[in-house]
Amino acid sequence: MLKVETGYGTAPSTVLVGGRPQNVLREVRHVYETNPDGSCPIQWGESLEFGIDYSECVVPMTESVTWQQGVEFVWKELARNAWAMPTQVKRYSREGGIERDSRTDETTYLNDVSRWVIGLVTHERNVELDYITARTDYHGTSRLPITIFWPYPNGGTAIPQQKLAWSAKGVLATVRDGLDNITTLSSWKRGVPRLVTHADTTTQAAVVNDRGQITRVTDQLGFATNYAYDARGLLSAITYPSGDDVAWNATVLGFTRTTAVEYGFPAGTWKRTVQTGSGVKVTWFDALWRPLMTREYDSTDPAGTQRFSAWEYDAAGDTVFTAYPRASVSSLASFSTGTYSEFDALGRLVLTRQDWEGSGQLETLTEFLTGFRTRTTNPRGFQTVTAYQAFDDPGAAAPTLIDAPENQRTLILRDVLGRALTLTRTGSVPGHPAVSRHYLYDSASRLCLLSEPETGGTVLNYDDAGNVDWSAAGLTMSSPHPQPDPALQPAACDTLRTTAYTSGRRVERSYDVQNRLLTLVFPDNTGNQTWTYTADGLPATITTSNNGLGEIVTNAYTYNRRRLMASETSAQPGAYSWTVDYGYSANGHLATLDYPSGLQVDYAPNALGQPTRAGDFATGVKYFPNGAIREFHYGNGIKHTMLQNERMLPERSTDSGGILDLEYVFDAHGNPVSITDYVDVNRNRAMEYDALDRLVEAQSVAFGGNGIHAFSYDVVDNLRSWTRGAGSGDPGKDFATYEYDGTTNRLTRILGSGSQVRHTFTWDAQGNLRTKDGTTFNFDYGNRDRGIAGQEGMRYDGHGRRVSTWMPTTGLARFYLYAAGGQLLFEGNETDGRNTDHIHLGGSLVATVDYLHGGGGTRVHYKHTDALGSPVTTTDENGARVGDYVVYEPFGQALGAPIDGVGFTGHVMDPQSGLVYMQQRYYDPEVGRFLSVDPVAADTIGGLNFNRYNYGNNNPYRFTDPDGRQSTSTTASSEEWKRRAAERNGRRPLVASSGTTDDGVESGSTPSATQEPVANATAAQRQVLATGNARIFGRTDNGREYKFQMDDSGAIRGRNQDNCTGDDRCTFVPGTIFVNSTLLGHVHAIPAGYENMSDAKKYSRSFIGPGDHAPLSIGRASGVVMPSGERYVITGTYSAPVVEYLGGGDARFGAYVQANWRPGMTPSEVAASVEGFLDGVTCPLS
């Protein structure tokens, strides 16, 4: 093979780009070594059948060049051995003849002709770093691998990572890790070991039949799971261990062909049925065994539980359509909404289109630019450009530069091995330098130093099995990056470790022979832990000391034979010992939960595992096809109902009786832009976001003052200001300036607009808050707050969850019990004299049961939450409201009386400190930041999570933080958010052509009095209307938009016309409608002899893109004729187009704006876009 071209079309294009047809996306060219006379350059042995197949002839490839996106990716052989195997290879990329990324590697082989073994790789060495990246030693006789080594500098010490031993029959007998912990594999049959003996002498056993199939697995505790197969060798049944309190239902699998038409699939279609008890999942496949549709249901209630999903594929096997799940369908063709994906000829995703509740579709566009860059445009029209490190292969696994909106630039410096050396966030924010994070690697290519301005240096050391055996954080670094040269970093790591070991900040860890954590020891013994495990490796106990070697907290766990958690106990000797018991259905789903109080909550799960109740506190639970709760009844009779929009986001949440009624509207990227409260209009909210989806404005009368919270940020995602104007006797909030230390990037002060000091902050060496306004916080070496001076002290369990607080002034304590999944289950409160059960459903708190001390009785309260999981109102057992409705500021501070208990996003709020306890970190809603750095480090692949303190990606209406470690989107699945974050997806600007709207109103015409009145708009739309100067806008009940005419005398104008004659030009400045997908723009030509915009509508052209465009006739007036040869030319860019009229006639040129309201569009967005367009029209242009 000499050359392969991949692109579009059936024939090469005649238009050349860079010497290649423009429709060629990738060209791969190979160069081989041949002799001039055509004879074999290299020959292996001699064929006894000369001239038949030439199998002994070797024609080595000397170079391979892949051309893509204007860059050449080159693999070039520099040397080879006698067997024609490349021993030195240069891999590099070049653009315009200039090398970009380059690395040279050497390979050493073992060729043992006497044993007919050739081509075994023994060493791989990178030349630039003089570094052995891989080494394997082989047995002297069998030539099987016996030792695999950690990477190491050439000439350094080679440390075994794994040792392998083989039986006389050539099967693997033992595996030793770097610490010589041995795992033994024996009694092999049909390629399967029937006995595995672990390093701690526990065993797992398997029964293998003569077909090599595993029919039984017995775990280390003697519990057996059995497997059966059909005649084709396909798995047909799984039988779970017996002997538990519940008899587990077996899982039965069948793979058959349909005998009749099913959901439009013809007879003979292959389908797979998986059934556990009454839980059934059926999947239909196409001829290539790709799933086309699934149906899941509980056979005891098919109509009430079934959900359908569907997919479509292109010829290459790429998924081009993923349907939104539905509760009922008649056939595959019934799926009309979902997400569509388009791929190019190289299999790259180029366009994603998503159906939504607005008009059209939401598009995410990925463009592949010259210089091997990608540009993604998200559904809001904002773009991100990413460049990559790449050598001989055009892969996008190692970004090096990410230019995001808001002038945010991320630089990732990588060495030739692709390791991140420096991660830098920069931009052009005055007075704030770039922030960089630095990384050093040891001789085994493991991270040994993370140097950050906020936390200082963190040094890590490893044992020979690769476990971190000690670390030290908060170290003072002589230089932010003590050794930028990757070739010298191993030696630098040795020096750093020597210093760190004696720093007094060392945290030590030990492990058992199966490399499971045994002990964790801190310098002052505060937070020390000891772990034990069951025979099969599940945690059995965790013992944690909270004050030196005292104040012990223990966690203990038991499991059933399916290894589901059966109980967990939390205890503090002398204070309490609480146990939670879990019961399961025959399908293995949580069925009951027994609280320490004696309360049992019955979930009555259906066969899909969905709870249908939570005891008597919530009953009649029903679900949407995507798994979200659709409705249930509280124990006091109040009915909760949820509606979803097209994207399956919450649209309206109602609790009957006027208790709660919230309607949500989202923008194109899933940001909530309005919340309408139908119970109290004063609690309506409207939000705006910047191009990075950070909240910049939130409006509500309920906020007080002028009702407008405004925020600004810098390029490293620090809050820079937070203000709310004064009004009605409310002084407002004046955090005009957040000041950060230029070296450490730590917040030092918050100043008012007159430079008044609002708050001051100091920090410890590890980046934890030390003081706020003089109040002292006591963080330990594990970054846990042990107490706030004069206010409260804290203790924690083995998972870092707070289990008790106490008041130094009274000595009274509060105790907390969290479930393994992180939910607060039980609370003992000496301060208020009560114990409390917390009952959850679907991840939200639905009720609390208070047991008053001293025989005071029992009190049940029902919790009504918003979309973030924050309780906003409470009702009693009779359905009456208890207390006031809770209004939260945008970043979570409760207005009015401080909340004592579960509050913002379902986390506990401390009334004394005003903090929100989010389990792994404390959060300060007053300033919108965490008190300590994120335990999850910044991502060195794509630069995500760069800021160490911000909350919810600075988007508190969309994101929550379940345990203080990772923000989670409430408007997209975790996988969807990961995809968006990793790819920074986007879309092309939308510009529609002129014509007729869905409602029959001609584009550009003024709405008449007979059109939809304002009264038909939703409350959220009316709120936006009230703050703007529009007269009519909204959406009809069937979801279609109708147009609105801006008030010409108000802040937002609706149209403008400037006339041009001859060869004049009209130019439109950047920042106009052409970069705002919520508006449509038209330019209209007025032929000679016609004087008004009505005539202009006969010939119009929408801005679609640069190029030569003739006017588009819409056929309204037969008497209008465009002079021959006259035309309009659009040049420039989307953000700054230039329209030129050519032809020499006396034609006129008009500019006209038509605005289409879309859900979430705010008045300021409309004003900025329309005004920008109109102000940018200049005719004529000299």
What is the structure's pLDDT at 49?
Answer: 63
Neighbours of 366 (CB within 10 A): 22
pLDDT, one tens digit per residue, over 677-716 is: 999 999 999 999 999 999 999 999 999 999 999 999 999 9
Would 378 be classed as within a structural domain?
Answer: no
State the number of CA atoms in the 13 A half-sphere of 636 facing the CB: 23
pLDDT of residue 966: 86
Given pLDDT bands bounded at 50, 70 and 90, which one contains residue 1115?
A: very low
Q: Given this model, what pLDDT does residue 898 score?
A: 92
Residue 1169 lies in a domain: yes
Rounded average pLDDT over 715-742: 95
Per-residue H/E/C for 922-979: EEECCCCEECCCCCCCCCCCCCCCCCCCECHHHCCCCEECCCCCCCEECCCCHHHHHH
- Is residue 933 in some structural domain? no
Q: CA-CA distance, 1125 to 1108, in Å (whole number)?
A: 12
- Mean pLDDT, range 521-548, rounded to an integer: 96
The share of the chain scoring above pLDDT 90, in percent, equals 74
pTM for the model stands at 0.82
Look at the block and give the residue holding tokens 């008041």. Answer: 807
Under the banding of pLDDT at 50, 70 and 90, the label for residue 973 is: very low
CA dist., res. 55 & res. 142, Å (int): 26
- Whether residue 980 is contained in a domain is answered as no
User: Does residue 579 lie within any of the structural domains?
Assistant: no
In 304-340, which positions are buried (b, 16+ CB within 10 angstroms) versus exposed (e)?
ebbbbbbbbeeeeeebbbbbbbbeebeebeebebbbb
Tell me, what's the pLDDT at 1129? 52
* The domain boundary residue, chosen from 286, 305, 336: 336
Per-residue pLDDT reduced to its tens digit, 803-812: 999 998 898 9
Instruction: Kindly report, residue by residue over 202-235, the tens digit of the pLDDT.
Output: 999 999 999 999 999 999 999 999 999 999 999 9
Average pLDDT over residues 195-204: 98
Identify the band that residue 8 occupies on the pLDDT scale cut at 50, 70 and 90. Answer: low
Domain boundary among 307, 336, 365: 336
pLDDT, residue 728, reads: 84
pLDDT value at residue 171: 96
pLDDT band per the 50, 70, 90 thresholds, residue 1024: very low
The answer, yes or no, to whether residue 498 has pLDDT greater than 80, is yes
In a domain, 1018, yes or no: yes
Q: What is the pLDDT of residues 319-357, one digit of tens each?
A: 999 999 999 999 999 999 999 999 999 999 999 999 999
Q: How much is the average pLDDT of 810-819?
A: 95
Task: Report how far residue 1039's alpha carbon sits from residue 1043's, in angstroms, rounded to the nearest whole number.
Answer: 13
Q: 82-86, 304-308, 533-537: which range is least confident on average?
A: 82-86
Examine the pLDDT at 603 and tell me if it is beyond 50.
yes
> For position 823, what pLDDT does the model report?
95
* pLDDT value, residue 1180: 34
Q: Range of 1131's domain?
A: 1014-1175
pLDDT at 971: 75
The count of structural domains within the chain is 2
pLDDT interval class at 1039 (50, 70, 90): very low
E runs forming strands in 415-462: 420-426, 435-441, 447-452, 456-462
Angle at 809 between CA 805 and CA 812, to 5 degrees: 45
137-168 pLDDT, tens digit per residue, is 999 999 999 999 999 999 999 999 999 999 99
pLDDT interval class at 1077 (50, 70, 90): very low
Least confident range of 2-6, 670-674, 971-975: 971-975
Over 50: is that where the pLDDT of 1176 sits? no
State the pLDDT at residue 12. 42
Mean pLDDT of all residues belonging to the chain:
84
Residue 597 has pLDDT above 90, yes or no: yes
Residue 932 pLDDT > 80, yes or no?
Answer: yes
pLDDT tens across 103-137, in order?
999 999 999 999 999 999 999 999 999 999 999 99
What is d(CA 708, CA 693) in angstroms, rounded to the nearest whole number?
18
Tokens representing 1033? 């806008």
| Spatial CA neighbour of 140 closest among 154, 122, 155, 125 | 122
Q: Residue 495 above 60 pLDDT?
A: yes
| Tokens linked to 530 | 């000891």
* pLDDT higher than 60, residue 427: yes
In a domain, 553, yes or no: no
pLDDT at 286 > cutoff 90 = yes
1128 — pLDDT class (breaks 50, 70, 90): very low
pLDDT higher than 50, residue 1081: no
Query: 1161 phi and psi, to 5 degrees?
Result: -75, 125
Most confident of 379-383, 1038-1042, 1063-1067: 379-383
d(CA 338, CA 319): 12
**Tell me: the pLDDT tens digits for 618-645?**
999 999 999 999 999 999 999 999 999 9
Sign of CA dihedral 108, 112, 113, 119: negative
C-alpha span between 892 and 887 (Å, rounded): 9
In-domain check, residue 1078 = yes
Reply yes or no on whether the pLDDT at 974 is more than 70.
Answer: no
Band of residue 1012 on the pLDDT scale cut at 50, 70, 90: very low
Alpha-carbon span 1174 to 1153, nearest angstrom: 8
d(CA 816, CA 793): 14
> Pairing mode, if any, of strands 1127-1132 and 1112-1113?
unpaired
β-sheet with 1065-1067: strand ranges across: 1065-1067, 1137-1142, 1127-1132, 1107-1109
Q: How far apart are CA 177 and CA 155, in angstroms?
A: 23
What DSSP string runs through 573-588?
Answer: TTTEEEEEEEEE-TTS
When mean pLDDT is compared across 562-566, 654-658, 866-870, 975-979, the lowest value belongs to 975-979
Per-residue CA distances from 1170 to 647, 1072, 1152 (Å):
29, 7, 10
Task: Give pLDDT, residue 854.
Answer: 85
pLDDT digits (tens, 9 = 90+) for 52-76: 556 678 889 999 999 999 999 999 9
Distance CA 80, CA 95 (A): 27
pLDDT of residue 1073: 32
- The last residue of one of the domains, among 336, 364, 382, is 336
Sequence-distant (≥ 6) Cβ neighbours of residue 380 within 8 angstroms: 667, 668, 669, 691, 693, 986, 987, 1077
